[in-house]
A and B are shown apart, each in its own frame.
Chain A
Amino acid sequence: MSDGKPRSFQEIILRLQAYWAAQGCAILQPYDMEVGAGTFHPATTLRALGSRPWAAAYVQPSRRPTDGRYGENPNRLQHYYQYQVLIKPSPPDLQELYLGSLAAIGIDFDYHDIRFVEDDWESPTLGAWGLGWEVWCDGMEVSQFTYFQQVGGHDCRPVSGELTYGLERLAMYVLGIDHVMDMPFNDPGAPIPLKYGDVFRQTEEEYSRWNFDVADTGKLLHFFEAAEAECVRILDHPQVDPRSGKRIIMVHPAYDQCIKASHFFNLLDARGVISVTERQAYIGRVRALAKRCADAFVETNAGGWTGDASAAAE
């Protein structure tokens, strides 16, 4: 571990990567699609299902169109980074491991007040829930800590432990920065020092304008429906591929469509064209897709399927 306080946003990310790599996690890369949170990455959603052990950590760019503030709000962004760790089964010392990661990014427990405050997590769109805490450092929420109980309507056995760090907020706290756009992205002593705002202020403006006022709601609605239909169509295919003769269930291509549908829904929401009552209906439609993907995943090898009918039935 590097000593002392980190000096930039990216150093915090690099330290987290190094720390979780040292704990034995596979360091994955972000999923290459628009998602609302790191949980949507198949490395979390799908891998939390089934009996196979898993340990992965990754950064996930996340998009929440309704949170856009044209780069003006010190804390709110429509595009931000989450750091995500998923370990299955959850190890008995997960809290200690987690605290070790805070120490690795320069939080000294001799001077700070760390607290685990009840916060049960639920994702209506993924049909998932778990129990855990939000972790407070000096009254500031720095992470979500969750023991997954259900995903896509399936009981998690074994249970995964999930850690989610809101990277900008955490880094601002560690670096003592008041406005996200002022945060050093690379080292302040670098030949070309860049602030967070140098990287993202313009895109925050562009997306805020598009998300709130310009995105074509008719097209978005159409995209939503197309993604929904494609997801179902993919999963309706027989398990055995006629070309190769192999059993190939196309869970991930279908799940991609589920992710797309979820993102289109978020965009429609930001455009303000979804009423309160419709909202529930849309969420239910995405959840139905997530559930079908989860059903299909547990029929695959990665999902713990062994070809044994009795194991699959469980």
Chain B
Amino acid sequence: MPDLLIELFSEEIPARMQADAREALKRRVTDGLVEAGLTYAAARAWSTPRRLVLAVEGLTGRSPDLREERKGPRVDAPEQALEGFLRSTGLTKDQLQARDDKKGQVWIAILEKPGRPAADIVAEVLEATIRNFPWPKSMRWGAGSLRWVRPLQSILCLLSDEAGAEIVPLEVDGIRAGDVTRGHRFMAPAPFRVTGVEDYQAKLKRAFVMLDQDERADHIWHAATNAAFAQGLELVEDRGLLAEVAGLVEWPVVLMGAIREEFLSLPAEVLQTSMKEHQKFFSVRDPKSGRIVRFVTVVNRETADHGETILHGNGKVLAARLSDAAFFWGNDLAVARAGMADWRAGLEQVTFHGKLGSQADRIARIEALAREIAPLVGADADQAAQAARVAKLDLQSAMVGEFPELQGIMGRYYAEAAGLPSQIAAACEMHYKPLGPSDAVPTEPVSVAVALADKIDTLTGFWAIDEKPTGSKDPFALRRAALGVIRLVLGNGAKFRLASILELAHLALLQSLLFQSLAAVRWIETGEILIGERDTKYGLGFVQTLLKEGNVLKIEPNSNDQFPPFSSTVDIVSDLLAFFHDRLKVHLREQGIRHDVIDACLSMPGNDDLTLLVRRAEALNEVLRTEDGENLVQGFRRANNILTQAEAKDGVEYSFGADPKFAEDPAETALFAALDAAEAAIGPAMEHEDFAAAMAAMAALRGPIDAFFEAVQINAENEILRRNRLNLLHRIRATCLAVADLTRIEGA
């Protein structure tokens, strides 16, 4: 059983592409080998900046011989049938055998496919892999036509076993596979031969190449933490950076250097971001002060002066970078202490979106919305409005201009420098959250109000201009915004009608667009533009009135092109609400709540109060897990089916008048009593939104309903009895439906 070793040696492969490339090489080659009839014991892929490597152990030496018999036409069939059979098998008539069959003699073709040596198969599979490799970006070089991530310089491809090694004969665009590779670019550049996987790994290590990316990352991590620990400091963990730097070096050497005194007062996030983004440095923290005091750089070689020259150079570059950062920080602080007026003015010039106006206009909308949302989440309306006004000012700061990822974080520092209350400064940072499904949800009321207003304005805005997410395309991250709203509401137990907030947001948006002349009001009848000039202010009430008179006026995007008028607020709100419900379903499903349970609750009134909706769903989910709950659904379904059929047949609704005096059977009487009790319990429970109690009362009907169906025939001969029982079924249905729409529950 030979082992296969492949090395694709190239100029420097971008670090971010290496992990996917390793996987692709392994998958494509092993899939190709297996498809061609070979088997193998194990496969491993490695990468360095200059090589992609695959080792396949225990490969079979040949693919098996294949023999296939194919039945053809009868011997006395017309000539054309035989010709077709010969064409499809590629044989001649004298190679066929005639054999007896049930219906007489038929032609049989025996197709033999001899196995092939592994080397031939490897050569074929590797060439196809190289030519079709899924690099995210690839290039040509020189006069060749091959594409690779950077110029491919050599291919090593060996099959080796106890008897020795064999070079797989293979040539791709003038590069002939061999058994030669090279070591570290500077520390051991001479080419050398290898005889197999172990020999390759051992010789590479001697040539200052640590082949295994995980080993490099471990080495870096341990050397860096040890270096920090030795000085009583700690390394700031950054897994992404670790993987990246491990992909930038073949022989990692960790060096730790000092940050000049004058930069130590910069915010930790600024130091960290600048060092990481520009220099790919790790940050080293003093656990006592929490400050970043050193950096760790990972270099690609050992030197006679133990890295002194390299460290000196890196320190100089860092000083130049941090001088820039310190310059930004100083200037920004001056603007912040002066009240940030320059930034406010600047945001009027910054377009948020061509059809939605400037950042300043957007901030005005968020402010109006935050003011409305504040009391619903326990925040002071004036504070929420003030927070909304300052939350995005840092977008104009020099620091965020340089490091966009520091938005919000800098906002908090600058708001503090401006002397604003702590909850307002906090909102500058927290209103962007939650950023992802695992990001924590803010809980401070002012932050919650601004975070909701920000996301809801984004959603209504893009909905209004018809830029909704489609399929995998969601360029404005609207799904994330909707999930953010859901998590903010649920995480804080906020109770309000989302629809009314969406309606408000849409009206505020139209008002804002009219004010910016991005929208115009047009008479439908005459086509004449009524309002479209800037300098006029319109109140929400005015816009609302315009929209209500939809038969007379329409509000449309103000542009030379022909745009359809904006959808009505009612349509936008219901469409957006459906989007929220979709996101909510995804969210709840991940929390183990069945989708039909969610549907059953969605069709109840008040479904835009997300907290209420989820509590109802959780209660229903719980009760359906009990035996009573599960059987109740069956009883309900039986009652509902019989009733629906009878109603369809009789053309009437049996919606009232079940009278206990017509009860014949004790089970029937008991059901009347049980329904009375359940109704008495469910009503007040629902009023207090005590869904668990309501569900329990509903589930308690299971016994009486089962007994009723057991003892009584609904479609009795006696028409009075029948009608009474159908009306009784209606009471079952109505009682259950008051709790949740059980018709949506599947199965059982």
Q: Which residues of A contact B (CB under 8 A)?
A: 74-75, 89-92, 95, 109-118, 120, 130-133, 137-140, 147, 149, 156-159, 161, 173, 178, 275-277
Contact = CB atoms under 8 A, between A and B. Distances in A.
Contact of A111 (B15, B140, B248, B303): B303
26 contacts: A74-B320, A75-B320, A92-B142, A95-B11, A110-B303, A111-B304, A111-B309, A112-B303, A113-B310, A114-B300, A115-B248, A116-B12, A118-B14, A131-B138, A131-B150, A137-B313, A138-B309, A138-B314, A147-B140, A147-B151, A149-B139, A156-B140, A158-B142, A159-B142, A159-B143, A277-B351
Interface string B330-357: 0000000000000000000111001000
B186 interface: yes
B317 interface: yes
The residue among A117, A130, A139 with the most chain B CB atoms within 10 A of its own CB is A139
Nearest to B189: A96
Nearest to B247: A118
B265 interface: no
B294 to A, nearest CB: 15
A269 B185 CA distance: 43
B300 A116 contact: no
Interface string B271-297: 000000001000000000000000001
Interface of B: 11-12, 14-16, 49, 137-143, 149-151, 153, 185-186, 248-249, 279, 297, 299-301, 303-305, 309-310, 312-314, 316-318, 320, 349-351, 354
Contact of B186 (A109, A130, A138, A158): A109
B317 A138 contact: yes
B571 to A, nearest CB: 30
Nearest to B319: A178
B313 A139 contact: yes
Nearest to A137: B313
A92 B153 contact: yes
A147 B151 CA distance: 9
Contacts of B142: 89-92, 158-159
B139 A173 contact: no
Contacts of A275: 349
Contacts of A161: 141
Contacts of B151: 90, 92, 147
Nearest to B145: A157
Contacts of B350: 276
B478 to A, nearest CB: 23
A276 B248 contact: no
B49 A116 contact: yes
Q: List the 7 shortest-distance A-B pairs measured between CB atoms, nearest first.
A: A138-B313, A118-B14, A116-B12, A139-B314, A158-B143, A113-B299, A89-B143
A178 B310 CA distance: 16
B248 A117 contact: yes
Contacts of B139: 130-131, 147, 149, 159
Contacts of A159: 139-143
Contacts of A157: 140, 143
Contacts of B248: 115, 117
Contacts of A173: 313, 316
B300 A115 contact: yes
B141 A113 contact: no
A140 B310 CA distance: 10
B186 A114 contact: yes
Given A92-B151, A120-B137, A159-B141, A276 B351 contact: yes
Contacts of B299: 113
A116 B138 CA distance: 17
A170 B185 CA distance: 22
Contact of B300 (A111, A113, A120, A131): A113
A140 B317 contact: yes
Contacts of A147: 139-141, 150-151
Contacts of A115: 248-249, 300
A111 B351 contact: no
Contact of A116 (B11, B16, B137): B11
A147 B147 CA distance: 12
Given A91-B142, A92-B142, A149-B139, 20 more contacts: A75-B320, A89-B141, A89-B143, A109-B186, A111-B304, A113-B299, A113-B301, A114-B300, A115-B248, A116-B11, A118-B14, A131-B149, A132-B150, A138-B313, A139-B314, A139-B317, A140-B314, A147-B139, A147-B140, A157-B143
Contacts of A132: 150
Given A89-B142, A120-B137, A159-B140, A139 B354 contact: no
Contacts of B305: 111
Contacts of B153: 92
Nearest to A158: B143
A20 to B, nearest CB: 19
A111 B153 CA distance: 27
Given A130-B139, A149-B140, A159-B141, A112 B310 contact: yes
B350 to A, nearest CB: 8
